[in-house]
Each structure stands twice: as C-alpha cells, then as structure tokens.
C-alpha cells in the first residue's frame, strides 16, 4: 500500500518497448512472448541447439572452439538486439540488470566460477564511458555472490568493428589483440571462469580471450552471454 502512490506516479516500464508493463517482470506480455529462451543443453562444445542431445554440431567438429561451452540466455531476436543496443549505445546501465536476471540460471550452474568480462580497448572505454560486459558481470554477481575480476585480460590492439565481417575476417581482426595481465595469473590458475559478453556471434573475440585464459591456467572457460546469434552462418 505504501508503494501504491510511487507505482502510480512512476509505473514500471517494459525493458523492450518502454510501455507500462505492470509491477511484476521486466517485460510486457508482447515483448516477453518474442524472446526465445534458450535451453541449457545443446552441442557439447558450443551449446548450439542440436537435434541429437549430447552431440557436437558441424561447425565445432570442423573447428573446435577454445572455450568449453556457450551459456546464452536468449536467441538474438529483435527484442534481444534492442536491449543490447540500449545498454551499449543508449547509456541505460539498468538494462544490465534485466539481462542478468535471465542469465543467472546459467551462472548458478558454476557457483565456484569467477566472472571475467570481455575487455574493451582503452580508447573504446574513453569514448563510451564504460564496459558493458563488466556492467553485466557485476549485475550477475549481485544475484549469485560470485567473484568478478574486472580486467585480468588486456586488450592491446584497437580492432575495427566486427559487424558485417565473415567468421574468418573476425578471427583475423582479433588475432593478437589480447594478453593476460601477469598480476592476475594467480587468480585464474586452476579456476573455473565464466567469460561474460553481451552478444555471441561467431565467437572470434570470445575464442581469443578463452585461449588467453586457458594459457594462464584456467581449468574451464564458459561463455556467459545475454544473447547468441543462431541464424548466422558461422
């Protein structure tokens, strides 16, 4: 009853379309129905949905990833894309909490894991003012209590935007772009790591970072992300 005047004056709005959504949930009924919540099982290497449970998808058979699996909350539909853009370019940090609420089910499967955000180059942080992956990681840990290492991986090369590039071109662009901060090797060695990102497309960036973490001694590296692109030819 005490919150009724506040809810009336400042009603909760849908994170997707911005319309009033009601007191419960982050999405209106329409936007929620458009989200494709991904299952927890799929390809043994990348968690891509497969027709036979426990099998390995074609792309992973052709080129096995450096990581140990992709833990994505939703498919990269229009609503998922809009949220990612709002966080990255719309300066709406509260969107990270909305994403984390759906990502947390995956994070809780690895309670002893530490969370590591995909790093941005210092010039990109200077332009944007924040690292969206770090915001998401911190939102997840507020729900799970897991540890976050903000910057154990250094981005030493300023890469061009990867949008529109083929999988091969993306891999070439990020080659040599990351290295381990030697001060954090002791925190990574022997640990399970959840590498946090907003959107998983071809996996070029996450694969490069997973390789750095594995070389530093990480026991396992899983990609924890908001959305993954399932329709693109990887």
pLDDT for 97: 95
CA distances from 90 to 85, 87, 124, 199 (A): 7, 6, 15, 16
Query: Tokens 């759906």 identify what position?
Result: 102
Q: Which are the contacts of 208, defined by CB distance < 8 A and separation ≥ 6? A: 66, 171, 174, 175, 177, 178
Enumerate domains of the chain plus CATH numbers.
1-34 (no CATH), 36-228 (3.40.50.2020)
Distance CA 40, CA 29 (A): 23
pLDDT for 21: 66
* Burial degree of 64 (CB within 10 A; 0-12, 13-18, 19+): exposed
pLDDT for 234: 39
Task: Report yes or no: 210 and 65 within 8 Å, Cβ to Cβ.
Answer: yes
User: What is the mean pLDDT for each group of 10 consecutive residues in the chain (234 residues)?
Assistant: 46 80 75 88 81 84 89 93 90 91 96 95 78 96 96 79 60 76 93 96 89 95 93 49
pLDDT for 17: 85
Distance CA 104, CA 110 (A): 10
Strands 114-117 and 192-200: parallel
pTM of the model: 0.86
């Amino acid at each position: 009853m005490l919150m009724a005047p506040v809810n009336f004056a400042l009603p909760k709005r849908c994170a997707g379309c911005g319309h009033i959504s009601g007191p419960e949930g982050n999405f209106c009924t329409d936007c929620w129905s458009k989200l494709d919540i991904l299952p927890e099982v799929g390809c043994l290497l990348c968690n891509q949905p497969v027709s036979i449970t426990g099998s390995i998808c074609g792309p992973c058979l052709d080129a096995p990833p450096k990581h140990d699996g992709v833990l994505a909350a939703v498919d990269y539909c229009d609503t998922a894309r809009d949220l990612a853009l709002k966080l990255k370019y719309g300066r709406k940090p509260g969107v990270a909490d909305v994403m984390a609420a759906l990502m947390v089910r995956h994070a809780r499967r690895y309670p002893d894991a530490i969370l590591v955000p995909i790093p941005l180059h210092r010039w990109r942080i200077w332009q944007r003012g924040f690292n969206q992956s770090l915001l998401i990681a911190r939102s997840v840990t507020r729900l799970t209590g897991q540890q976050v290492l903000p910057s154990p991986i250094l981005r030493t090369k300023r890469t061009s935007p990867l949008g529109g590039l083929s999988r091969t071109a993306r891999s070439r662009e990020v080659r040599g772009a990351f290295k381990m901060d030697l001060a954090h090797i002791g925190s990574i060695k022997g640990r399970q790591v959840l590498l946090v990102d907003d959107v998983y497309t071809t996996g070029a960036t996450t694969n490069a970072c997973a390789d750095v973490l594995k070389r530093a001694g990480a026991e396992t590296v899983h990609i924890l992300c908001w959305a993954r692109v399932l329709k693109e030819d990887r």
